[in-house]
Amino acid sequence: MRAATNEGLVALDPAGQVVPAIAERWIVTDDGLSYIFRLRDANWPDGEELTAQDVRTALRERIDQLEGTSLGLDLAKVTEIRAMTGRVVELRLSGPMPEFLRLLAQPEMGLTKRGSGVGPMVVSRDEDSSLARLSVLPPEARGLPAREDWEELSRGLTIRALSGQQAVDAFTSGEVDLLLNGTIATFPLAQLGPLSRGTVQVDPALGLFGLIFRSDAGVLSDPDRREALSMAIDRAALIQPFGLGGWRSTTWIVPSELFVPQRYAASRWDDQTFEQRQATARARIAAWEAATGEEASVSVGLPRGPGSDLLFRQIAAAWQSIGVTATRVGMGDGGDLELRDRLARYSSPRWFLNQLNCTIELGLCSPTADDLVRDSLELRDPAAKQALLAEAHAELVAAEIFIPFGVPVRWSLVRGAVSGYQANPWGLHPLFPLSEPTT
């Protein structure tokens, strides 16, 4: 909803491709260090002209607000923002970033002035705060030529935030036409009820999905024993109860194909069978129990939902097979491990590494890896940058701070009459294209 009411310089279309927004066009210098945007002729909601100086101020404020977040780390290459003329803005980077435009298209990068933004839609709410209505603005309010029949070419949207079960029930009853942002925790709900074939849409997502270690106490005090928990999980079996065809598992934090040339095998333990991995893991746990006289146990934080129930049963069974007892707690309730389920904003190793940065304070981390990522920011040679990021990844893997499962699961329920929706790797589905009427 933020992207529909507060646009940034660029936006994403239904396929997840970058398209113009506040900026009507742009150029990138040959060295990849400068992005120059020409702004469209637009006004703020109060009627004031939108200027390059406004954009410069808003971008600086937004970057400051994002400090201490993973998106703030993603934006660390921005070194300077200049208002060149009334409608031209330049952003300078410390090093090339081929997917910088995709980063600027994130909903959080929508620009505001005195709390109001410039977007193709405006939001209104009734006394029932769970409902939000989005209405399309006339073309001239969006910096486009006036058009008499514009209202015939658009329709309003009503948005509600519901629990997974409530949302599926509302879709099944015909009360809603589109359900967005389903996750692994609620995926089993999509398979229930009288849903027509083709209604369930699963995004071909890229991102981080696994367990982050929040504690290094007891059996988790040694990286080898933390690795044992990862070795014990059969990724294919983990997701099998969900019936998710095409889901891609991984044993690495950064997918191996994101490094060119590829710097490690597709599977982390490709020199061992799964049974050999289990035996190695079991021996490490048994040695700790013999040395301490304690029984190995860990707690796992997961969100509520039937999908989390399935996931926990698979995890608990895998760890029980190596002598570790798992108990389940809620998210934020002090679990030794906790689910980390994030969609990638761009397809670079740096995005994955930033998700586990020490400054975000999610759990165990590696200052050495963070330093290597920071050193990569100013490198202009792609091969040297990839080498440094691969070294940072190796540090994170050796520290055993995260158990990767595979790609995140994002699903939607889409009625056939809905236009403007398209599954995409980023799991972001802009609302403005949905305002186009069906034919």
What are the domain boundaries of the chain?
Answer: 2-117, 135-204+410-435, 207-406
Average pLDDT, integer, range 300-307:
98
pTM, entire model = 0.94
Lowest pLDDT segment from 207-211, 253-257, 281-285, 311-315? 253-257
More confident residue, 392 or 195: 392
pLDDT beyond 80 at 146: no
Judge: domain 207-406, CATH 3.10.105.10: yes
DSSP state of 86: T
More confident residue, 138 or 291: 291
Q: Checking DSSP bridges between strand 78-85 and strand 325-330, what pairing results, if any?
A: unpaired
Q: What is the pLDDT of residue 119?
A: 86
| Residue 114 in tokens | 């005195």
Q: In the Cβ-directed half-sphere of 98, how many Cα atoms lie within 13 Å?
A: 7
Angle between helix 274-292 and helix 223-231 axes, rounded to 10 deg: 140
Distance in angstroms (rounded) separating the CA atoms of residues 79 and 95: 10
More confident residue, 352 or 436: 352
| Residue 274 in tokens | 């799964």
Contact 434, 178 (CB under 8 A): yes
Q: What is the pLDDT of residue 128?
A: 64
Give yes or no on whether 2-117 and 135-204+410-435 have one common fold: no
Q: What is the pLDDT of residue 359?
A: 96
Distances (CA, A) of 277 to 253, 284, 381, 385: 18, 11, 38, 33
Q: What is the pLDDT of residue 263?
A: 83
Lowest pLDDT segment from 97-101, 164-168, 280-284, 344-348? 164-168
pLDDT band at 348 (very low <50, low <70, confident <90, very high): very high
Distances (CA, A) of 3 to 19, 67, 134, 315: 13, 20, 12, 37
Distance in angstroms (rounded) separating the CA atoms of residues 28 and 25: 11
| C-beta neighbour count of 40 within 10 angstroms | 18
Contact 26, 35 (CB under 8 A): yes
Which residues make beta-bridge pairs with 157? 134
As a whole-number percent, the residues of the chain with pLDDT over 90 amount to: 77
Average pLDDT, integer, range 134-162:
81
Architecture of the 2-117 domain: Alpha-Beta Complex (3.90)
Q: What is the pLDDT of residue 304?
A: 97
**pLDDT tens sequence across 308-323:** 999 999 999 999 999 9
Q: What is the pLDDT of residue 93?
A: 98
Contact 18, 102 (CB under 8 A): yes
Q: What is the pLDDT of residue 154?
A: 80
Lowest pLDDT segment from 83-92, 113-122, 240-249, 278-287? 113-122
Average pLDDT, integer, range 34-42:
95
pLDDT band at 198 (very low <50, low <70, confident <90, very high): low
Give how far the C-alpha of residue 407 lies from the chain's centroid of Cα atoms, to the nearest Å.
Answer: 11
Which residues make beta-bridge pairs with 340? 210
What is the overall mean pLDDT for the chain?
A: 93
The CATH number for 135-204+410-435, chosen from 3.40.190, 2.60.40, 1.10.287, 2.40.128, is 3.40.190
pLDDT band at 125 (very low <50, low <70, confident <90, very high): confident
pLDDT beyond 70 at 134: yes
Distance in angstroms (rounded) separating the CA atoms of residues 88 and 85: 5
Contact 407, 247 (CB under 8 A): yes
Q: What is the pLDDT of residue 194?
A: 47
pLDDT band at 195 (very low <50, low <70, confident <90, very high): low
Average pLDDT, integer, range 137-150:
76
As a whole-number percent, the residues of the chain with pLDDT over 70 amount to: 97
Distance in angstroms (rounded) separating the CA atoms of residues 205 and 187: 14
Q: Which amino acid is at 331?
A: M
pLDDT beyond 70 at 193: no
pLDDT band at 192 (very low <50, low <70, confident <90, very high): low
Average pLDDT, integer, range 21-46:
95
